Chains A and B, each alone.
Chain A
Amino acid sequence: MSDGCGAPEQTAVVTGEDTGDQVVVAGKVTGGEGALGGAYVRLLNADGEFAGEVQASPEGDFRFYAAPGEWKVRALHRSGNGEATVAAAGPGLHQVTIAVA
Chain B
Amino acid sequence: MSREDVLVTTQWAEENLNTPGVVFAEVDEDTTAYEGGHIPGAVRIDWKTELQDPVRRDFVDKEGFEKLLSAKGIAGDDLVILYGGNNNWFAAYAYWYFKLYGHDKVKLLDGGRKKWELDGRDLVKEVPDRPATNYKASDQDLSLRAFRDEVVDAINTKNLVDVRSPDEFSGKLLAPAHLPQESAQRGGHIPSAVNVPWAQTANEDGTFKTADELKELYEDAGLDTSKATIAYCRIGERSSHTWFALHELMGLKDVKNYDGSWTEYGSLVGVPVETGSNGGK
Secondary structure class of chain B's binding surface, majority of residues: loop
A52 to B198, CA, bound (A): 11
Within 8 A of B (CB), among A12-69: 22, 38, 40, 42-43, 45, 49-55, 63-67
Q: Count CB-based A-B contacts (< 8 Å).
A: 98
Shortest Cβ gap from A93 to chain B (Å): 14
B168, closest chain A residue (CB): A51
Q: How far is the CB of A17 from chain B (nearest CB, A)?
A: 13
Most buried by A among B28, B48, B182, B184: B182
Counting contact residues on chain B (CB < 8 A from A), the size range is 35 or more
B50 within 8 A of A: no
Query: Is B85 part of the contact surface with A, judged by Cβ < 8 Å?
Result: yes
Contact check: which of A45, A54, A76 meets B167 at CB < 8 Å?
A: A45
Q: Which residue in A50, A63, A67 is a CB contact (below 8 Å) of B172? A: A67
B102 at the interface (CB under 8 A from A): no
**Which one of B30, B87, B166, B180 contacts A65 once the chains associate, using CB atoms below 8 Å?**
B180
Provide the bound-state CA to CA distance between A89 and B187, in Å.
22
Cβ–Cβ < 8 Å partners of B204 in chain A: 42, 76
Nearest opposing residue in chain A for B182, CB measure = A1
Given A38-B117, A65-B178, CB of A5 within 8 Å of CB of B29: yes
| Residue positions of A touching B, CB distance < 8 A | 1-8, 22, 38, 40, 42-43, 45, 49-55, 63-67, 76-78
- Interface pairs (12), CB distance under 8 Å: A1-B183, A1-B184, A2-B180, A2-B182, A5-B29, A5-B86, A5-B235, A52-B165, A52-B177, A65-B175, A78-B117, A78-B119
